[in-house]
Amino acid sequence: MWSSPQYLLVMIGVIIINYFVGIYIDKYDIIGGGQSKKLKSRILIIGIVVNVLVLFIFKYLSFTINSLSEAAQMLGFNGWTFTNIVLPVGISFYIFQSISYLVDIYRKDAPVQKSIKNLALYISMFPQLVAGPIVRYNSIAQDIERKREISFDVFILGLKIFIIGLAKKVLIANQMAVIADTMFTQDAAYLTALNAWIGALAYTFQIYFDFSGYSDMAIGLGLMIGFKFPLNFNYPYISYSITDFWRRWHISLSSWFRDYVYIPLGGNRVKISRMYLNLLIVFIITGIWHGANWTFLVWGLFHGFFLVLEKFTGLNKMEKYKPFRWIITMVIVITAWVFFRADTIHDALLYIKAMFGFNSNGEMLILSKLYLNNPAFYILMIVGIIGSTPLIKKYFIKNIDAFNPVNVSEKVLYLQNIIIIVFFAAVYIMLANNTYNPFIYFRF
């Protein structure tokens, strides 16, 4: 509201529409009978279409019209210009949550919300509104209805999780962003393979610590006010396959697409060729959801292709050659991130050419020396590597877990508290002295 007051009306409109659609779905469910079932299905479809239409207008209309204009110019026709529409903050998340609400009511996975105030609470849940995780209605319906009691211990647990997420974002992701931006803003035709890999690795860590950091902050804030939001990242960079990667990366999004798109399309209950098509459709939508740019579509297809290939060959179920499989998986993931980061497909392809040594013009050795001669670079990379594995959690912060907290000794707890306070102080100093604070998820 503070940044764009007029877009608050969009959210209010979405809340009102979904409130009445939900009421009517429940009304015809109570009446019963064949005709009521048809009306119930139609109302659900109308509700989903309206939600998707709102998302399309604000997120994809400008891109669609401008793409059609470019295509018309290529065919010799006159193009046209269209003013870009500002993307309302959080719209991708609250639209998906609204669809989740309607489908959960339709499937009887959750009761209808008869209080518009409570529905507004769900759709506008501020801790995770702008960066996830996507909270499904059926997982939070009881928490909305009941009187939430927050103990001191739970509040402190939420505070610790929040500070760890904040440290991931400010102390690691933001520093990786400086390296990634330096490399990706160069002319890729003149990058050496070493430069290109330094940039790609930096962005790989940046995007993980940025997204997982925001998710941790949301989970921590949720605990502080009595809500338990779902786990969103589970160390995806230790995956041995693309299939496993998507079980660990942005879990709330991938499970949303599984339950609300993949399974309704037939899932794996259909013939093999149709199952592969369903997977590709899901990953096309996954790519498009992340942004109105062809690069995101290619990123989604890239992951979808290798996931289908794994299922076709059975590689995702193979237990042998795990180190080799991990290397292949990470090469695919890192290469895909180039499409995610680049402004155009052409830029992405040039950058990938540089990564794999097909760029004969590579000259910018001075950039890599800038980092390779700096001890802070190695410390940052080591922190990134260790922080993206379960090692620290397993041996040091296993009790700081909203889902499976365990007891630790008083000495460990005392040391933990000191380190978390140091983290918070370091974050404060960094934010006070540095205005470079990129928010990757804003454009999604």
Catalytic positions are 290
Rounded distance between C-alpha atoms, residue 85 and residue 58, angstroms: 6
For residue 412, how far is the Cα from the chain centroid? 32
163 in Cβ contact with 186 (< 8 Å): no
C-alpha distances out from residue 321 to 198, 235, 313, 326, Å: 26, 20, 15, 9
206 in Cβ contact with 215 (< 8 Å): no
Provide CB contacts within 8 A for 382, sequence distance 6+. Answer: none
SS3 content of the chain, % helix, strand, coil (to 5): 70, 0, 30
Provide CB contacts within 8 A for 146, sequence distance 6+. Answer: none
Contacts 24+ apart (CB under 8 A), 17-20: 17/47, 17/50, 17/51, 18/47, 18/51, 18/98, 18/101, 18/102, 18/119, 18/123, 19/113, 19/116, 19/119
Structure tokens at 400: 């700081």
Rounded distance between C-alpha atoms, residue 384 and residue 338, angstroms: 18
CA dihedral 199, 204, 210, 211 (to 10 degrees): 150
282 in Cβ contact with 261 (< 8 Å): yes
Structure tokens at 277: 């098509």
68 in Cβ contact with 122 (< 8 Å): no
Burial of residue 221, with CB atoms counted within 10 A of its CB: 0-12 exposed, 13-18 middle, 19 or more buried: buried
94 in Cβ contact with 69 (< 8 Å): no
- For residue 173, which of 199, 204, 134, 130 has the smallest C-alpha distance? 204
